[in-house]
Amino acid sequence: SKHFAVFGHPVAHSLSPKIHAAFGRQTGIPVDYRAIDAEPGQFTHALSDFIAMGGVGANVTLPLKQVAFTLCDDLTERARRAGAVNTLVRNGDTWHGDNTDGAGLVRDLTDRHALDLRSRRTLLLGAGGGARGVAPALLDAGIGDLYIVNRTAQRSDALADALGEPGRVHPRYLNDLLSLGEFDLIVNATSAARDGQMPQLPRSIVGPRCAAVDLNYGEAAIPFLAWARAAGCRDVVDGLGMLVEQAAESFARWHGVRPETDAVYEMLRSHHD
Ligand code: ATR
Protein backbone atom coordinates (compact mmCIF):
# COMPACT_ATOMS: atom_id res chain seq x y z
CA SER A 1 0.00 0.00 0.00
CA LYS A 2 1.01 3.65 -0.39
CA HIS A 3 2.67 5.29 2.58
CA PHE A 4 2.81 8.94 3.52
CA ALA A 5 4.61 10.72 6.35
CA VAL A 6 5.71 13.99 7.84
CA PHE A 7 9.45 14.34 8.53
CA GLY A 8 10.71 16.80 11.10
CA HIS A 9 12.76 17.25 14.27
CA PRO A 10 11.06 17.25 16.69
CA VAL A 11 7.92 15.88 15.08
CA ALA A 12 6.14 13.82 17.74
CA HIS A 13 3.59 16.56 18.43
CA SER A 14 2.85 17.31 14.77
CA LEU A 15 -0.87 17.58 14.00
CA SER A 16 -0.34 16.52 10.37
CA PRO A 17 -1.14 12.79 10.90
CA LYS A 18 -4.45 13.75 12.51
CA ILE A 19 -5.27 16.22 9.72
CA HIS A 20 -4.52 13.77 6.92
CA ALA A 21 -6.48 11.01 8.67
CA ALA A 22 -9.48 13.36 8.89
CA PHE A 23 -9.15 14.31 5.19
CA GLY A 24 -8.98 10.59 4.36
CA ARG A 25 -12.22 9.87 6.27
CA GLN A 26 -13.94 12.82 4.63
CA THR A 27 -12.95 11.87 1.07
CA GLY A 28 -13.16 8.09 1.51
CA ILE A 29 -9.50 7.71 0.57
CA PRO A 30 -7.55 5.29 2.81
CA VAL A 31 -4.63 7.26 4.27
CA ASP A 32 -1.54 5.75 5.86
CA TYR A 33 0.34 8.79 7.18
CA ARG A 34 2.78 8.82 10.08
CA ALA A 35 5.28 11.12 11.76
CA ILE A 36 8.98 10.28 11.33
CA ASP A 37 11.64 12.04 13.38
CA ALA A 38 14.84 12.81 11.46
CA GLU A 39 17.67 15.21 12.20
CA PRO A 40 19.01 17.10 9.16
CA GLY A 41 22.08 14.84 8.97
CA GLN A 42 19.93 11.68 8.90
CA PHE A 43 17.24 12.90 6.55
CA THR A 44 18.59 11.34 3.34
CA HIS A 45 18.92 7.99 5.08
CA ALA A 46 15.44 8.23 6.61
CA LEU A 47 13.97 9.02 3.18
CA SER A 48 15.63 5.93 1.66
CA ASP A 49 14.13 3.75 4.38
CA PHE A 50 10.78 5.39 3.73
CA ILE A 51 10.96 4.63 -0.02
CA ALA A 52 11.92 1.02 0.75
CA MET A 53 8.76 0.54 2.79
CA GLY A 54 6.52 2.03 0.10
CA GLY A 55 6.70 5.75 0.81
CA VAL A 56 5.30 7.78 -2.09
CA GLY A 57 4.67 11.17 -0.55
CA ALA A 58 5.75 13.22 2.44
CA ASN A 59 5.48 16.52 4.17
CA VAL A 60 8.63 18.12 5.51
CA THR A 61 8.63 20.45 8.46
CA LEU A 62 11.25 22.26 10.47
CA PRO A 63 14.20 22.17 10.35
CA LEU A 64 14.25 20.11 7.12
CA LYS A 65 12.55 22.27 4.48
CA GLN A 66 15.75 23.67 3.01
CA VAL A 67 17.51 20.29 3.11
CA ALA A 68 14.50 18.76 1.33
CA PHE A 69 14.86 21.39 -1.38
CA THR A 70 18.39 20.17 -2.14
CA LEU A 71 17.27 16.51 -2.34
CA CYS A 72 14.60 17.01 -5.01
CA ASP A 73 15.14 16.04 -8.64
CA ASP A 74 12.64 18.59 -9.86
CA LEU A 75 10.61 21.39 -8.31
CA THR A 76 7.49 23.40 -8.81
CA GLU A 77 8.03 27.06 -9.62
CA ARG A 78 6.81 28.11 -6.17
CA ALA A 79 9.18 25.68 -4.40
CA ARG A 80 12.07 26.91 -6.53
CA ARG A 81 11.33 30.51 -5.65
CA ALA A 82 11.02 29.61 -1.97
CA GLY A 83 14.24 27.59 -1.87
CA ALA A 84 12.35 25.32 0.52
CA VAL A 85 10.16 22.24 0.12
CA ASN A 86 7.32 21.11 2.40
CA THR A 87 5.75 18.51 0.09
CA LEU A 88 7.48 15.58 -1.61
CA VAL A 89 5.83 13.54 -4.36
CA ARG A 90 7.48 10.30 -5.49
CA ASN A 91 7.63 10.17 -9.27
CA GLY A 92 9.19 6.90 -10.50
CA ASP A 93 12.74 7.01 -9.16
CA THR A 94 12.72 10.70 -8.37
CA TRP A 95 11.40 13.17 -5.82
CA HIS A 96 9.30 16.02 -7.03
CA GLY A 97 9.31 18.96 -4.60
CA ASP A 98 6.52 21.45 -3.97
CA ASN A 99 5.84 24.07 -1.34
CA THR A 100 2.23 24.50 -0.23
CA ASP A 101 2.95 26.71 2.81
CA GLY A 102 2.50 30.03 1.04
CA ALA A 103 -0.70 29.07 -0.73
CA GLY A 104 -1.97 27.69 2.59
CA LEU A 105 -1.19 30.94 4.42
CA VAL A 106 -2.77 33.15 1.78
CA ARG A 107 -5.90 31.01 1.62
CA ASP A 108 -6.25 31.09 5.42
CA LEU A 109 -5.79 34.87 5.61
CA THR A 110 -7.99 35.80 2.65
CA ASP A 111 -10.75 33.16 2.87
CA ARG A 112 -11.00 32.20 6.54
CA HIS A 113 -10.00 35.54 8.08
CA ALA A 114 -11.35 37.75 5.26
CA LEU A 115 -8.19 39.87 5.14
CA ASP A 116 -7.46 41.81 1.97
CA LEU A 117 -3.70 41.53 1.54
CA ARG A 118 -3.39 43.84 -1.45
CA SER A 119 -0.95 46.75 -1.04
CA ARG A 120 -0.22 45.91 2.59
CA ARG A 121 3.22 47.13 3.63
CA THR A 122 4.60 43.91 5.08
CA LEU A 123 7.25 42.95 7.62
CA LEU A 124 8.49 39.36 7.53
CA LEU A 125 10.37 38.34 10.66
CA GLY A 126 12.74 35.44 9.95
CA ALA A 127 14.43 34.06 6.85
CA GLY A 128 14.47 30.31 7.49
CA GLY A 129 12.42 27.58 5.88
CA GLY A 130 9.09 28.96 7.06
CA ALA A 131 9.77 32.49 5.85
CA ARG A 132 11.01 31.20 2.50
CA GLY A 133 7.89 29.14 2.01
CA VAL A 134 5.44 32.02 2.47
CA ALA A 135 7.27 34.98 0.91
CA PRO A 136 6.58 34.18 -2.78
CA ALA A 137 2.86 33.62 -2.17
CA LEU A 138 2.56 36.87 -0.21
CA LEU A 139 4.16 38.75 -3.10
CA ASP A 140 1.84 37.02 -5.57
CA ALA A 141 -1.15 37.92 -3.38
CA GLY A 142 -0.39 41.56 -4.09
CA ILE A 143 1.11 42.85 -0.85
CA GLY A 144 2.98 46.14 -1.07
CA ASP A 145 6.64 46.41 -0.14
CA LEU A 146 8.10 43.44 1.74
CA TYR A 147 10.73 44.08 4.43
CA ILE A 148 12.61 40.98 5.57
CA VAL A 149 14.25 41.21 8.96
CA ASN A 150 16.28 38.34 10.36
CA ARG A 151 18.66 37.85 13.27
CA THR A 152 21.33 36.63 10.85
CA ALA A 153 21.57 39.34 8.19
CA GLN A 154 23.07 37.19 5.46
CA ARG A 155 19.98 34.95 5.45
CA SER A 156 17.60 37.88 4.92
CA ASP A 157 19.89 39.13 2.15
CA ALA A 158 19.88 35.67 0.54
CA LEU A 159 16.09 35.37 0.73
CA ALA A 160 15.59 38.85 -0.72
CA ASP A 161 17.95 37.97 -3.60
CA ALA A 162 16.14 34.69 -4.27
CA LEU A 163 12.78 36.43 -4.50
CA GLY A 164 14.06 38.44 -7.45
CA GLU A 165 11.98 41.59 -6.96
CA PRO A 166 14.54 44.16 -5.79
CA GLY A 167 12.07 47.02 -6.26
CA ARG A 168 9.62 45.54 -3.79
CA VAL A 169 11.69 43.36 -1.43
CA HIS A 170 14.05 44.94 1.11
CA PRO A 171 16.32 43.04 3.50
CA ARG A 172 16.87 44.90 6.76
CA TYR A 173 18.38 44.26 10.20
CA LEU A 174 16.70 43.77 13.59
CA ASN A 175 18.44 46.98 14.72
CA ASP A 176 16.70 48.89 11.90
CA LEU A 177 13.18 48.14 13.17
CA LEU A 178 12.79 51.51 14.89
CA SER A 179 13.41 53.36 11.65
CA LEU A 180 11.27 51.23 9.33
CA GLY A 181 7.94 52.97 9.98
CA GLU A 182 4.51 51.34 10.25
CA PHE A 183 3.36 48.08 8.71
CA ASP A 184 -0.07 46.76 7.69
CA LEU A 185 0.97 43.12 7.98
CA ILE A 186 3.57 41.59 10.29
CA VAL A 187 4.39 37.90 9.85
CA ASN A 188 6.38 36.06 12.50
CA ALA A 189 8.29 33.26 10.75
CA THR A 190 10.93 32.88 13.44
CA SER A 191 11.24 29.84 15.65
CA ALA A 192 12.39 31.99 18.58
CA ALA A 193 9.43 31.10 20.83
CA ARG A 194 10.27 27.41 20.54
CA ASP A 195 13.38 28.29 22.58
CA GLY A 196 11.31 30.50 24.89
CA GLN A 197 12.58 33.70 23.26
CA MET A 198 11.23 36.51 21.12
CA PRO A 199 12.91 39.21 19.06
CA GLN A 200 12.55 42.69 20.62
CA LEU A 201 9.86 44.50 18.63
CA PRO A 202 9.04 48.21 18.97
CA ARG A 203 5.38 49.29 18.94
CA SER A 204 6.24 51.81 16.25
CA ILE A 205 6.07 49.08 13.58
CA VAL A 206 2.30 48.59 14.12
CA GLY A 207 0.12 50.55 11.70
CA PRO A 208 -3.49 51.53 12.39
CA ARG A 209 -5.09 48.50 10.69
CA CYS A 210 -2.25 46.06 11.16
CA ALA A 211 -2.70 42.29 11.00
CA ALA A 212 -0.21 40.15 12.93
CA VAL A 213 0.28 36.58 11.82
CA ASP A 214 2.34 33.88 13.50
CA LEU A 215 3.25 30.87 11.38
CA ASN A 216 3.49 28.93 14.64
CA TYR A 217 0.47 27.65 16.52
CA GLY A 218 -0.16 26.52 20.09
CA GLU A 219 2.40 27.43 22.75
CA ALA A 220 4.93 28.64 20.20
CA ALA A 221 2.53 31.33 18.96
CA ILE A 222 1.77 32.79 22.40
CA PRO A 223 4.62 35.32 22.90
CA PHE A 224 4.38 37.04 19.50
CA LEU A 225 0.57 37.16 19.42
CA ALA A 226 0.46 38.48 23.00
CA TRP A 227 2.89 41.22 21.95
CA ALA A 228 0.71 41.94 18.87
CA ARG A 229 -2.47 42.33 20.93
CA ALA A 230 -0.74 44.58 23.44
CA ALA A 231 0.73 46.66 20.62
CA GLY A 232 -2.73 47.26 19.16
CA CYS A 233 -2.80 45.03 16.08
CA ARG A 234 -6.35 44.85 14.74
CA ASP A 235 -6.18 41.25 13.54
CA VAL A 236 -4.19 38.54 15.30
CA VAL A 237 -3.91 35.16 13.58
CA ASP A 238 -1.97 32.03 14.53
CA GLY A 239 -0.69 29.35 12.16
CA LEU A 240 -3.34 26.70 12.78
CA GLY A 241 -5.40 27.64 9.73
CA MET A 242 -2.31 27.76 7.52
CA LEU A 243 -1.38 24.30 8.80
CA VAL A 244 -4.75 22.88 7.74
CA GLU A 245 -4.70 24.69 4.37
CA GLN A 246 -1.16 23.63 3.44
CA ALA A 247 -2.14 20.07 4.36
CA ALA A 248 -5.18 20.26 2.06
CA GLU A 249 -2.93 21.46 -0.79
CA SER A 250 -0.52 18.58 -0.17
CA PHE A 251 -3.41 16.10 0.03
CA ALA A 252 -4.64 17.36 -3.34
CA ARG A 253 -1.17 16.87 -4.85
CA TRP A 254 -1.07 13.25 -3.68
CA HIS A 255 -4.66 12.10 -4.05
CA GLY A 256 -6.12 14.37 -6.73
CA VAL A 257 -8.92 15.59 -4.46
CA ARG A 258 -8.96 18.82 -2.47
CA PRO A 259 -10.58 18.18 0.91
CA GLU A 260 -12.88 20.61 2.67
CA THR A 261 -10.96 22.26 5.51
CA ASP A 262 -13.44 24.04 7.79
CA ALA A 263 -14.55 21.01 9.82
CA VAL A 264 -10.95 19.89 10.44
CA TYR A 265 -9.95 23.44 11.38
CA GLU A 266 -12.83 23.70 13.88
CA MET A 267 -11.96 20.33 15.38
CA LEU A 268 -8.32 21.32 15.91
CA ARG A 269 -9.27 24.78 17.17
CA SER A 270 -11.51 23.32 19.85
CA HIS A 271 -8.78 20.92 20.98
CA HIS A 272 -5.84 23.33 20.88
CA ASP A 273 -7.05 26.57 22.43
P1 ATR B 1 11.76 27.41 10.15
O2 ATR B 1 11.57 26.25 9.21
O3 ATR B 1 10.79 27.44 11.30
O4 ATR B 1 11.84 28.73 9.45
P5 ATR B 1 14.58 27.60 10.47
O6 ATR B 1 14.82 27.40 9.04
O7 ATR B 1 15.47 26.93 11.46
O8 ATR B 1 13.14 27.11 10.87
O9 ATR B 1 14.51 29.17 10.75
C10 ATR B 1 14.26 29.68 12.01
C11 ATR B 1 14.14 31.19 11.94
O12 ATR B 1 13.90 31.73 13.24
C13 ATR B 1 15.38 31.89 11.41
O14 ATR B 1 15.00 33.04 10.71
C15 ATR B 1 16.10 32.24 12.71
O16 ATR B 1 17.02 33.32 12.61
P17 ATR B 1 18.54 33.01 12.17
O18 ATR B 1 18.52 32.84 10.68
O19 ATR B 1 19.30 34.20 12.62
O20 ATR B 1 18.96 31.74 12.89
C21 ATR B 1 14.94 32.66 13.55
N22 ATR B 1 15.21 32.62 15.01
C23 ATR B 1 15.39 31.53 15.76
N24 ATR B 1 15.58 31.87 17.06
C25 ATR B 1 15.54 33.23 17.11
C26 ATR B 1 15.65 34.20 18.17
N27 ATR B 1 15.88 33.83 19.44
N28 ATR B 1 15.54 35.52 17.84
C29 ATR B 1 15.32 35.89 16.55
N30 ATR B 1 15.18 35.03 15.52
C31 ATR B 1 15.29 33.71 15.80
Give the ipTM. Answer: 0.96
Give the phi and the psi of residue 139 in degrees, each rounded to 5: -60, -45
pLDDT over 90 (residue 137): yes
Helix (H, G, I), strand (E, B) or coil at 15: coil
Task: Tell whether residue 197 is among the known ligand binding residues.
Answer: no
Helix (H, G, I), strand (E, B) or coil at 4: strand
- Is 94 in the same domain as 111? no
- Is 45 in the same domain as 115? no
pLDDT band (50, 70, 90) for residue 22:
very high
| Mean pLDDT of the region 160-164 | 94
Q: Is 267 domain-assigned?
A: no
Query: Could you tell me the distance, in angstroms and rounded to a whole number, from the CA of residue 96 to the centre of ligand 1?
Result: 26
59 C-beta closer than 6 A to ligand 1:
no
pLDDT of residue 272: 63
CA distance 48 to 201: 43
Torsion of Cα atoms, 32 then 246 then 15 then 254, to 10°: 0
Q: Is 96 domain-assigned?
A: yes
Share of the chain above pLDDT 90, in %: 95
The amino acid at 58: A
Q: How many CB atoms lie within 10 A of CB 6?
A: 24
Q: Could you report the per-residue pLDDT of 225-238, keeping only the tens digit for each?
A: 999 999 999 999 99
The CATH number of residue 72's host domain is: 3.40.50.10860
Closest-CA residue, ligand 1 atom 27, reads 192
pLDDT over 90 (residue 186): yes
Q: Could you report the per-residue pLDDT of 87-109, keeping only the tens digit for each?
A: 999 999 999 999 999 999 999 99
Q: Is 270 domain-assigned?
A: no
Label residue 164 left, alpha or beta by phi (over 0 means left) and psi (-120 to 50 means alpha). Answer: left
pLDDT band (50, 70, 90) for residue 197:
confident
- Is 36 in the same domain as 73? yes
- Is 204 in the same domain as 127? yes
- Is 147 in the same domain as 94? no
- Is 127 in the same domain as 180? yes
Q: Could you report the per-residue pLDDT of 163-179, keeping only the tens digit for each?
A: 999 999 999 999 999 99
Q: Is 49 domain-assigned?
A: yes
192 C-beta closer than 6 A to ligand 1:
yes
- Is 19 in the same domain as 86? yes
83 C-beta closer than 6 A to ligand 1:
no
- Is 87 in the same domain as 164? no
The CATH number of residue 216's host domain is: 3.40.50.720
Task: Tell whether residue 153 is among the known ligand binding residues.
Answer: yes
Q: Cα 15 to chain center, whole Å?
A: 14
- Is 122 in the same domain as 200? yes
Q: Is 269 domain-assigned?
A: no
Query: Could you tell me the distance, in angstroms and rounded to a whole number, from the CA of residue 129 to the centre of ligand 1?
Result: 9
- Is 230 in the same domain as 140? yes
pLDDT of residue 273: 60
pLDDT of residue 194: 83
- Is 57 in the same domain as 187? no
User: In residues, how long is the chain?
Assistant: 273
- Is 107 in the same domain as 233? yes
Instruction: List residues bridging with 37 in a β-sheet.
Output: 8
Q: Domain containing 218: what range?
A: 102-240
Query: Could you tell me the distance, in angstroms and rounded to a whole number, from the CA of residue 257 to the centre of ligand 1?
Result: 34
Which one, of 235, 222, 231, lies nearest residue 193 by Cα? 222
Query: Could you tell me the distance, in angstroms and rounded to a whole number, from the CA of residue 187 to the centre of ligand 1?
Result: 13
Radius of gyration, CA atoms only, the chain:
18
Lowest mean pLDDT among 23-27, 79-83, 122-126, 205-209: 79-83
- Please give the tally of structural domains in the chain: 2
158 C-beta closer than 6 A to ligand 1:
no
44 C-beta closer than 6 A to ligand 1:
no
**H/E segment holding residue 164:** none
